[in-house]
Chain A
């Protein structure tokens, strides 16, 4: 298989127990280049656990995560810690719900973005700064804020900065954990539109955890619905939302106002 026909990441029976307590169980799916998958469900359904497992931030109890590296799928449990870290710094992005987890709050916006470039070997100060400046404007942050630290930014700006920091290395896959959670509705709309445009322009694959079905509808091609740690329904986003088959999905869809 070639190009877009070959999956970028494959999850096989991904399972996590925290001691006796189930985090998530037996999750299997594939994601292809350019595909956006939303993981939806209520708090405690296991969706953030799943995201941490896929992105190698948490160790699996059983199952495998395979990722395409140099043209072939590799079991990430067989890769070295250094290889995984390199993946997280370059080929992947991770957007946290709370931008304070993804940013260094006391260093400048330009340094936050430039740091990731330096981690991939960039050394030329002028180029790092101009690339960082380009990315700030792509996420609609004024160039004259480049030397300000994110602790002086609003919540929406911080989140946009976190996105710029993640995308500056042109990752192939971005994990997002409730990227619009905790923001005002008007700020959310702007951020969503920005994410939608960037994902489409860059042809990114993304796995987005959200409890907001409107976010899933706007951003994703496919949905995984999680309940009690398991994926209970999956399919084309608009089909799952407009013609849900499982009882729990029907409850979710009917519990929101016009998603």
Chain B
């Protein structure tokens, strides 16, 4: 595979949700989504809230299935289509290749903030000492008070949890990073710290695909914007409609 081959390449993705509990109602979200992200590039998914940006990001993480199309993920000299990959392949890619920063931390009972972050570093191949050093470095740069490091994040504030979540997402050596509103519940200082960390990943040749609602953050990070409105086929923003239908 050529060294210039993109790390992420989506070809003709289509996604809809079928709501069996609502008489099989089909909510189309997007169709024909095609874009690529190169090493060292940051691409922002654009378009109004609820248009399907998060669904695409989740599909590129293997968290959502797709109806059609390919999601080519480059893994060294190979490429794997996440749209059809076996669960074990997806898990292996998440360990080594694809990192993801979600909007909320999924708290694991009894595991300390430091261990949450160090575990992510270990999973992608760091040794015990290195993982711990990486975790401490990240938590320090994200201004999480040291007295909190040994505590489980379940009792933290939203902003503190989000910083643990970001440290968890950035602790690995992933060549692809997916970011869903990474600065959402952060103040200006912490937001700047996150931007700096992501810029470092970019300089280290990671391919970054993100949703950045905050315009200054988007401008600081994104080289290009892929407007999802161009591929949207639902009349109503799909996530909203799904939430309403499920309610």
User: Is A254 close to B, CB under 8 A?
Assistant: yes
A222 touches B20 (CB 8 A): no
B18 touches A245 (CB 8 A): yes
User: Is A69 close to B, CB under 8 A?
Assistant: no
- 45-66 of chain B: CB within 8 A of chain A: 58, 62-65
Q: Which residue of A lies closest to B87 (CB)?
A: A236
- With A239-B62, A239-B63 as contacts: A254 and B246 at CB distance below 8 Å: yes
User: Is B108 close to A, CB under 8 A?
Assistant: yes
Q: Mask for A216-259, Cβ within 8 A of B = 1, else 0?
A: 00100110000000000001101100110111001100100000
- How many residues from B make CB contacts under 8 Å with A? 19
Q: Which residue of B lies closest to A234 (CB)?
A: B87
- 71-91 of chain B: CB within 8 A of chain A: 87-88, 90-91
- With A243-B65, A250-B21 as contacts: A235 and B87 at CB distance below 8 Å: yes
A189 touches B87 (CB 8 A): no
A250→B18 CA distance, assembly (Å): 10
Contacts of B246 in A (CB 8 A): 254
User: Is B147 close to A, CB under 8 A?
Assistant: no
Q: Mask for A10-50, Cβ within 8 A of B = 1, else 0?
A: 00000000000000000000001001000000000000000
Which of B21, B65, B91 sits near A254, CB closer than 8 Å?
B21
Q: Kindly specify which of A55-63, A152-160, A190-198 makes contact with the partner chain.
A: A190-198
Determine how close the nearest CB of chain B comes to the CB of A142; give it in whole angstroms: 18
A208→B108 CA distance, assembly (Å): 19
A218→B111 CA distance, assembly (Å): 13
Q: Which residue of B lies closest to A194 (CB)?
A: B110
Q: Which residues of A contact B (CB under 8 A)?
A: 32, 35, 189-190, 192-193, 196, 218, 221-222, 235-236, 238-239, 242-243, 245-247, 250-251, 254
Interface pairs (11), CB distance under 8 Å: A190-B110, A221-B88, A235-B65, A235-B87, A236-B62, A238-B63, A239-B63, A239-B64, A242-B58, A250-B20, A254-B21
| Known A239-B87, A246-B20, A250-B21; 11 more pairs at CB < 8 Å | A35-B88, A190-B109, A193-B110, A193-B111, A196-B108, A236-B62, A239-B65, A242-B64, A243-B64, A245-B18, A251-B20
